[in-house]
Amino acid sequence: MRTTGDTRARILTAATELFRRQGYSATGMKQILATADATYGSAYHFFPGGKTQLGEEVVRASGAAYLGLITDLFQDGGDGPAETTARAFTGAAQTLLDLDFADPCPVATIAMEVAGTNETLRLATAEAFTSWTEALAGYYGSCGIAEPRATATAVIALLEGAFMLGRAARSTAPVLDTAPAAAVVVRAAAGLPPAQGRPPA
């Protein structure tokens, strides 16, 4: 027997997948509800603010989930932050491949679409990006990097840009090719000389 909690979860899951694959603007409530096997009445019971509220909750839940992924990807293997960063890009490339080059997270998709037109969703996406940046800055700070937040911002920007290029090309090459640049940023921030050869993946 389905519960109201099941219905709410199904709507959120359906919206997350559809926003990730199609984008926010191209996805209507009718499609979300059909995918979730839910009614309009249940949707507006759980999300009285309609599609905007649903989008906000998708962004916040996805932001928290991918914060965990970033934390996992940037696990220091003991050989320093630059090498860890290069390996994180390799892991991110595998994630992109596993998802058949769909956007692995709806946060960036929604931010690109509506940041200039929907303040509620702009704020939600900004908070997600900030949480990722602060988590990565915490790691870089623990490694003794003097400006950890600026370094984290640069690395997140490189990663998001590489994902966009990878999706367009249907290739992991942009993500893998960006790994050395990210490692260079981190080495410079740590006051280390450039590495010889390509950073390990």
- Which CATH number does the domain housing residue 81 bear? 1.10.357.10
Q: Does residue 38 fall inside a structural domain?
A: no
Burial class (CB in 10 A: 0-12, 13-18, 19+), 112: middle
Residue 5 has pLDDT above 80, yes or no: no
> What is the model's pLDDT at position 201?
47
Q: Does residue 179 fall inside a structural domain?
A: yes
pTM recorded for the entire structure: 0.84
Give me the mean pLDDT over the 95-106 stretch. 81
Helix (H, G, I), strand (E, B) or coil at 194: coil
In 3D space, the residue among 121, 103, 86, 93 whose CA is nearest the CA of residue 201 turns out to be 86
Whether 59 and 110 have beta carbons less than 8 Å apart is answered as yes
Q: Does residue 92 fall inside a structural domain?
A: yes
Whether 158 and 189 have beta carbons less than 8 Å apart is answered as no
Q: Does residue 129 fall inside a structural domain?
A: yes
Q: CA-CA distance, 139 to 145, in Å (whole number)? A: 9
Q: Does residue 10 fall inside a structural domain?
A: no
Compute the mean pLDDT over every residue in the chain, rounded to the nearest whole number: 90
> What is the model's pLDDT at position 148?
97
Domain range spanning residue 137? 52-189
In 3D space, the residue among 60, 63, 57, 54 whose CA is nearest the CA of residue 27 turns out to be 54
Q: Does residue 34 fall inside a structural domain?
A: no
Domain count, the chain: 1
Give me the mean pLDDT over the 84-105 stretch. 87
> Could you tell me the two tokens for 148?
């950890």
> Could you tell me the two tokens for 67?
């914060």
Q: Does residue 195 fall inside a structural domain?
A: no
What percent of the chain lies above the pLDDT cut of 90? Answer: 68
Q: Does residue 145 fall inside a structural domain?
A: yes
**Token pair 């199904």: residue:** 10
> What is the model's pLDDT at position 36?
96
